[in-house]
Each structure stands twice: as structure tokens, then as C-alpha cells.
Structure 1
């Protein structure tokens, strides 16, 4: 913060003294050309005349700088891109210098503040020196405004991207929660007539699952927290399916130091419960491989049935919002850091998710 303030102060100082320095340089170049080419002594003549000329040169530079900065600000605020009509832009600047510089010289000479010894020739020399130097100064001002405009545009674009990513992520979450809640309420609905005890237990499980979804979605969680949630979710899903269903889960214990954005594995597990058929077996594996997380879920299917998930995840997501939203979340949270693929072998459909943390 201190370094940034120091740099900002230096930049402001340059902006404040820049026109004065340019006025001093321009005046001294004029004196070199007019005095030494005439074989006169440099800065010959009265000190008062030269001091007046130097002050007038500085004032002109400050006035033109202020005018050009305001003009550039308006020019670039109206245009979406950098103006392309350079000839017109510099022609206007040339006209401004001529109509400001020459009347000031004429009036101050008549007032006796400066001395133009050779009349028209000195006017020509003043214009020949000041016009190129001031147009060069305009180029420096213009480049500064362009660089600032481009920097502001980049910051604005990055802010828009960040806002869009946040909005997209929030939208995905808002779509996901009602989807899960709808399925959960269906589970409880079919249990009410069977046993009030089971219904109460399901409500307790649902409460814990929803609490995790609502309060832990904005930041990363530890892998232990995510595994606890997945274990509860699996137990909850098992209650609404046939007793023939066999679920085998293998969660490794070594997760120290690893954190992850939550609810990335649940849609794949939900998908397995939704489409399990045949032998009604689901296998779930969650392993650590260094800084990578390897998640695999497989479920049995009927061999003679063409499963709509049998070719790839890309085609699988077409039929449901859960996996579609999962891929969008992965793209937002782990861009170019994950692999999601699925395979089918006769009666077994498998999905693998690898995340590089």
C-alpha cells in the first residue's frame, strides 16, 4: 500500500510540473535557435524580457495541457475504441496551437513584455519550434490517456467476467437446491404411510443435508466434511430404494490439508441411484493421489437396455439438469483442472471425476 501511494504521488508530481518543464525546454530551444544562429550571446538582452518570455512559455504550456486533457477525456469517453481519424485530430491540435500562440505573442509584444527583434522571421521561428514540440507533447498526453483507457477497460472486463462467474455460480446453486429438495420430499412422501419412525429419521437426515447445502456452498470445505455429507446422502437415498440394492463405498482416510468446493460428487451419486438396474449394485470410491482427488461411481444396468448415459458425459447431461450444472460448476471453479468421463461395459455404467487441486 505504501509503495502504491509513493508511485501515485510521483505520477501526480510529474503531471503537475510536466507543462512547466516543457515550457522551459521549448523556450530555451527557441533562444538557442534565435541567439546562436545570429551569433549573439545565449540569453543576451535584458533579464526581465527573458524572464517574461519564460513565464509566458510556461503559462501557454499549462493552458494548452489543460485544454488537451479535457479534449482527450471527452474524445475517449464518447468512443468505444481508440479514435482512428488521426489526421483530423492532429489538425485540430495544430489549429489550437496557432490561434493561441500567435495572439499571445502579438499582445505581449505590444505590451512590452517580450521583444521580437526580427518581426515576421521571429514569428516564423517561434511557430517552427513550438508547434512540433507541442504536438509531440500532445502525443505523450494522448498515449497516456490511451494506456489509462486500455487499463480501465481491462479492469472493467475482468470485473464483468468475475460478476458473470459469480452470477452463473449462484444461478447453478439456486437451480440445484430445489432439484434436490424435490427428490427428498418425494422420498419422505412415500415413507409416511409405512412408519412414522422412519419418516422422522428421514426428516432428521434431510435437515442435516439441507443445512450442509445451504451454509457450506460459498466457500471450500475440508474433505472430511464433504465425506460426512456424502455418507449421509448415500444412507438417505438407500431408504427409498429396493432392499435388493447393494451400495459399497470406499472413502480413503488421508485428506489432511485438502479442501474442495462442496457438492461436486453428489450429482454423480444421485445419477447412479437414479439409473441403477439389473443386479442393483452401486460402487463408490473416493481416493487421494497427491494433490489430486479421484472419484469413481459405477452402477449396474440392464444389458439389453440402451442406456442414455452409455456413450459419454457430454450426451448424458442432455437429459438432466444435475450433470449439466455440475459441468458448469466445474468449469467455473476448476477450469482446465478436472477430467470428467464415463464408460459403459455391458451391465455396468461408470463415471470418473478427477480434480487437480
Structure 2
């Protein structure tokens, strides 16, 4: 027997491994997967937000700039605009129209009407040196003979809170001559709402060549004025082209904090997992110590059983799961003893059945009468004598062969045919029989020779008291059961004898020397259970009916 110290150690190790394998590790895996999915979902939501914000900003800018272009083109077509340099009469009307253009847009702007020298005629901004700046930086670049196109400029050196991020300039023609310019300075203040309420999100607006027009953060722009984060790690960018690819809108999110959160989150998860493993180990040791007494009691019980000195059920001190094991161990021991008893009885019954079969196989009266009939027939009818010899040989061969415990129903019926044919040769017209076995039941396996003792009883005890004996054998399947009926028209049993037989079939011991019906019944019950067996029905001077019930089984 293994020592208690070894048992405790093994139990502690197994409990620790079980908790780790079936509780801690699955929990860690589920937590890790959940953690991963959580960050994937956050990242996906953030990406969708970024895409949505970029789409909204692009749509807003495209709509506003396109609308400004249409308004400028409409002003260029207004004949009053060329007169603004010649007379003051139209100044108020032109100012009102320009002011209305700005008012109608969400993206506000400063407008200017300047001549080719940069002198301001009309503006809604403060008058300072702005016109000269325009002249120096932009107006000198405009080809005075250009077509009526609108030119875009950017103020890349300005990063004030409300700076002009885009300048829209269009020439004012007097005939074919450029007499001045319409200028709209689009202000950046309306762009704030697209990034101020978005965590870790910035926007950059560039021309097709990557030159910055607007950026929400100076660090996103290189010294040469171009956007510098498109290829950097830790940034996610969504870009859209607008106004016939004149501009590109970039929505940029810094993912460094999210990645750091993911890293530190996993690091914290590993620390927690390590603590859980340590706690589980300590918990296993504590549980093992508490369960040691119960294990010792169970081991002692098993040792007593092995040594054949089991003293009966002994309740454990602690009412835990081991008490359930203790109870079922006691029940198993009792079942084991019962099974041993039944196996012993099965062996005894099998031995008795084999002895009885041998007795029947070599019954002197049966053999003597059969051989006498054969001797008589050899003189009178040699062919019939030969047939009887063959049947007798078949009976002896089948009954002596003990290699199989079961045999097909058709083989047992063949044995019964041969047996009854020999008996009919003896009793002639006094004995008749019929057998009805459906073809599909012929291969059904049954315990060997379970019909022979019952048929023999019908002949032996029935024919001496009647002038004519009829034996009917019929088999049928009822649900999952095979029922074999043996009916005879012999003298039958009295009610007292019938009750005596029925009482005998309900016992596990047979005090009489007659084991025919009882032995068949007990063999079936020991093999298949108490739901099966032999049932006896009889009426004195009218005959008997025996029903053999066994499980239906297909051919093996």
C-alpha cells in the first residue's frame, strides 16, 4: 500500500494540475482572447470614427470650396464688377453681394477687391498692409493675360488660431484686360470642430503635391512644408481627394497610446496570471491537507476489502464529496459480493444444465426405444430406419457440441424437429406437432437448447394420459422481445401443481430434483435479467402453454 505522505503529495500535485488545466488556463485564455478582442473592437471603432470624420470633413470642404467657386464665377460674369475701379456708385452693391456670399457659407472668409497694383477697394477685413502682401506674394505671379480661372494659394507660414488656410483669387476683366482681382481668404476657425472633440485625432489639408494648406498640429508638418506622418509608425491616416483632386484631406490618429495601453494591459494580465498560479498552488496544498483524513479512511476501507475483512459502512467525519465516494464504494462492495454470488450460481446452473443435457442425450429409455424402432424398421422399411439414424446422429452431435453458448433459432428448431420426428416414429398417430417460425427470425441468436427440456416434458408427461397429443411451437417478435410459445394438448397441471411451479420460478434456489422448466427460466434470467424468463399457463385435462421471453437480437 502506498504511504500516506506519497498519497498526499500525489493528490496535491493532481489537484494543482487539475485546477491549472481546467480552471486557471481556460480562464487565462478566455481573458486573453477577450482582452485582444476588446482592443480590436476599440481599434475598429476608432478606425470607423476616423473614416467617418474624414468623410464628413471632406464633404464639408468640398461643398464649401465648390460653392465659393460658383459664387466667384457668378461675380466675374457681373458687368458691374469691372466698373468698381471706375466709379464709386457700385461699391455698396458689390460689397453687399460679397458680404452675402460670406454670410451664406459656414466656412467664413475675408474678401478683397484689389486693383493690379494691390490697392484695396473693398474688404470686410481691417485695412493694413495686406494688399501689399498680396501684391508681393501672389498678384505679381498672376498672368495678366490668363483665362478666367480661379487660382488657389496657401499661407503655409501662418499658424495663428484663426488664420487663412486657403486663398481663392480670380481676375476681374475689363474687356480682355485684367483690371483687378477678387480675393477670398478662407478662415480656419470652422475646421476646429472636426478635431477638437476627437481624442488623439488631427487633420491636415494639402495640395496634390503634399504641400500643407492647413494642419491642426505643427509637429505633423516637416520643415519643407509637407506632411510628415504618412509613413511613420504609430499613426493611422485616412485620406480623401476633393474638388477634382485639387486638395487632399488627411484625418490622422496617433495610435501610440493605444499600443502602449495594449502592451501594459497584457503585461498586467501576465502578472495577474502568475499570481493566480501561485494562489492555486497554495490552495491545492490547503485542500489536500483537509482531505487527507477522508482519503486515509477510503484507503483503509479498500485495504480491508482486499484482505477480506470488510466491516461495513463507516461514515466519514467531514460531509464533503469524499463522503459520496465512500457511500458509493460501500454500494460497489455490496454489488461486487452480489455479483460474485450470482456468478457462482451461474456456474452451478451451467454445470447442472450440461449434466442434464448429457443425461437427456444419453437417456437409456430414449435411446433404447429409438434403437428398437430402428431395428424393426430395418426389416420393414430400411429407408425410414436410415432416416431415423441420421436424425439420432444429428441430435447427439448438436447436444454434445458445447463450443457455443448461443445458436441461431433455426438450428435449435432443427434439433426439435429431429427429436419430435423420432418420437413420432415411436408413438405414430398418437403424436402430432407443428412449428411456425417466421423466416426473418431464423438467424436470431438464442441460448442453446432452451426449448428441448420443455418439449421433452410435454411428450414425457402428456402422452401417457391422452389418446392423441398435439404440440405446437411458434415464435414471434413483439417489440424488442422474442417470444417462443410451446403449446401441448396433454393432461395439463392441477391448480395446486401450477401454483407450485410458478412459486418455484420466483425463487433463486430450487429445492426439488426437477430442474427442467426452472433451469431454463433461471438460465434466461441470469443471462438477461428478471424481465425475461418462462411463464407457465395450464388447465388440468386440457393442456399447457409455456411462453419463453428473451431479448430480440439481430444476427451477430
Q: Please tell me the TM-score bracket, short chain as reference.
A: 0.5 to 0.7
Deviation of the 1:274 alpha carbon: 0.9
Deviation of the 1:227 alpha carbon: 1.7
Q: Which residue of the partner structure matches residue 39 of structure 1?
A: none
Q: Which residue of the partner structure matches residue 531 of structure 2?
A: 336
Give the distance between the partners of 1:205 and 1:61, measured in 2 at CA: 74
Give the distance between the partners of 1:151 and 1:333, measured in 2 at CA: 22
Checking the alignment, whether the CA contact within 8 Å between 2:405 and 2:447 is kept in structure 1 is: yes
Checking the alignment, whether the CA contact within 8 Å between 1:295 and 1:353 is kept in structure 2 is: yes
Deviation sequence 1:172-202 (CA, Å, 0-9, x none): 3223212312424343454576466677755
Alpha-carbon spacing, 1:238–1:231, altered in 2? closer, same or farther (3 Å): same
**Gap regions ≥5 residues in structure 2:** 1-8, 19-280, 305-309, 505-511, 552-556
Q: Of 300, 313, 324, which residue of structure 2 is paired with 1:82?
A: 313
Task: Single out whichever of 154-163 and 164-173 deviates more from structure 2.
Answer: 154-163
Alpha-carbon spacing, 1:255–1:227, altered in 2? closer, same or farther (3 Å): farther
Alpha-carbon spacing, 1:61–1:179, altered in 2? closer, same or farther (3 Å): same
Whose helix fraction is larger, Structure 1's or Structure 2's? 1
The equivalences for 1:137-176 within 5 A come to 143=323, 146-147=326-327, 149-150=329-330, 152-153=332-333, 156-157=336-337, 159-161=339-341, 163-164=343-344, 166-176=346-356
Q: Which residue of the partner structure matches residue 272 of structure 1?
A: 458
Q: Which residue of the partner structure matches residue 246 of structure 1?
A: 431
Alpha-carbon spacing, 1:75–1:181, altered in 2? closer, same or farther (3 Å): closer
- In our comparison, the structure showing a higher alpha carbon Rg is 2
Structure of greater relative contact order (alpha carbons < 8 Å, 6+ residues apart)? 1
Give the distance between the partners of 2:357 and 2:470, measured in 1 at CA: 24
Q: Which residue of the partner structure matches residue 236 of structure 2?
A: none
Deviation of the 1:156 alpha carbon: 2.2
Q: Which residue of the partner structure matches residue 360 of structure 2?
A: 180
Deviation of the 1:163 alpha carbon: 1.8
Q: Secondary structure at the match of 2:470?
A: strand
Give the distance between the partners of 2:291 and 2:478, measured in 1 at CA: 60
TM-score normalised to the size of structure 1? 0.55
Give the distance between the partners of 1:71 and 1:315, measured in 2 at CA: 49
Give the distance between the partners of 1:211 and 1:68, measured in 2 at CA: 60
Q: Which residue of the partner structure matches residue 125 of structure 2?
A: none
Checking the alignment, whether the CA contact within 8 Å between 1:76 and 1:83 is kept in structure 2 is: no
Give the distance between the partners of 2:371 and 2:396, measured in 1 at CA: 17
Deviation sequence 1:121-145 (CA, Å, 0-9, x none): xxxxxxxxxxxxxxx6xx6585376
Q: Which residue of the partner structure matches residue 483 of structure 2?
A: 293
Q: Secondary structure at the match of 1:243?
A: helix
Q: Which residue of the partner structure matches residue 349 of structure 1?
A: 543
Q: Secondary structure at the match of 2:448?
A: coil
Q: Secondary structure at the match of 2:428?
A: coil
Q: Which residue of the partner structure matches residue 16 of structure 1?
A: 13
TM-score normalised to the size of structure 2? 0.38
Q: Which residue of the partner structure matches residue 517 of structure 2?
A: 323
Give the distance between the partners of 1:151 and 1:178, measured in 2 at CA: 40
Q: Which residue of the partner structure matches residue 494 of structure 2?
A: 310
Deviation sequence 1:97-122 (CA, Å, 0-9, x none): xxxxxxxxxxxxxxxxxxxxxxxxxx
Give the distance between the partners of 2:476 and 2:321, measured in 1 at CA: 56
Give the distance between the partners of 2:448 and 2:400, measured in 1 at CA: 11
> Are 2:258 and 1:73 equivalent residues in the alignment?
no
Give the distance between the partners of 2:284 and 2:431, measured in 1 at CA: 89
Alpha-carbon spacing, 1:185–1:80, altered in 2? closer, same or farther (3 Å): farther
Task: Single out whichever of 246-255 and 227-236 deviates more from structure 2.
Answer: 246-255
Deviation of the 1:219 alpha carbon: 3.5
Give the distance between the partners of 1:274 and 1:224, measured in 2 at CA: 24
Alpha-carbon spacing, 1:154–1:187, altered in 2? closer, same or farther (3 Å): same
Deviation sequence 1:210-251 (CA, Å, 0-9, x none): 332343684432222222121111112223x33342313132
**Gap regions ≥5 residues in structure 1:** 1-11, 22-54, 91-135, 302-306
Give the distance between the partners of 2:17 and 2:427, measured in 1 at CA: 87
Deviation sequence 1:280-314 (CA, Å, 0-9, x none): 3223131324444241321344xxxxx6x333545
Deviation of the 1:153 alpha carbon: 1.5
Q: Secondary structure at the match of 2:467?
A: coil
Backbone CA RMSD of aligned residues:
4.3
